[in-house]
Structure 1
């Protein structure tokens, strides 16, 4: 039986200790009996140090897409990033994985609803006469009980918790045969 391969999408790659975070994440995945594919694993056949600008961006894009193609599952960190919303790149990777038929699992430790998240990270939230919530720019805030846009909350399995809890959920679903694994 093949081991499920998990593409680990998230903004950790931008952190000063990104490689250490990726190492800890890989260890959690491996301890769960699964195989991690981290964007920081890269492509050993491409020397990214020799590239810059658009060429570097295209190489990173190609490498990440190839890893998503090899994955059985895309796991996305949808915690707030530079504001109330998740990292745009992570959102794209989750959407791409979903569109390619991969199982998708997303997680956040933050507030449970988009309204709470916006109030905390992009205040103030006010109410219109009809009761709908709006942000400081008077834009309606989705009120479906999810912490982020419904297109992310509804495209797979949403876990309210940390990375380790999300991986436990993935591992349980793989063990139960709920996640198809490529040979």
Structure 2
């Protein structure tokens, strides 16, 4: 019945009705995200599942940062059509790490007036990370803006994510919860 109503609105008012649920359900599938994250890990030379990520004094972290900074020196590179696959892999990698090490849940955030989405070719997919220990949430696109702002690089993103990992562990201890390592 709703489809008929949407079709009628489109005919009567000329409003294009876009259904975003399927695009999001396709993107958020754990098997799809895991495969994309694995491709990204292979691309940057990370074997297996990452340990708590991005220690600032780790040689491995410095090497990974160089790889990521080379792939995405700015938001133009993130949004470039030729990098859509790599940006998707990186987003999947970040989401999976944030879920595993910082307890994040993932949802789809409407693009709205800001018009900022990670995937210009798929505006219906805009992942946001929701943390159990704070009311503020972060879109993956917002995290990549931090990373590429004024040449800050992956180190700026890693610093944020390290703080969230620590905050999650502290929240678990304060609430007598075991970390949910998925």
Tell me whether the two structures share a fold, i.e. TM-score over 0.5: no
Q: TM-score of the superposition, structure 1-length normalised? A: 0.27
More strand by proportion, 1 or 2? 1
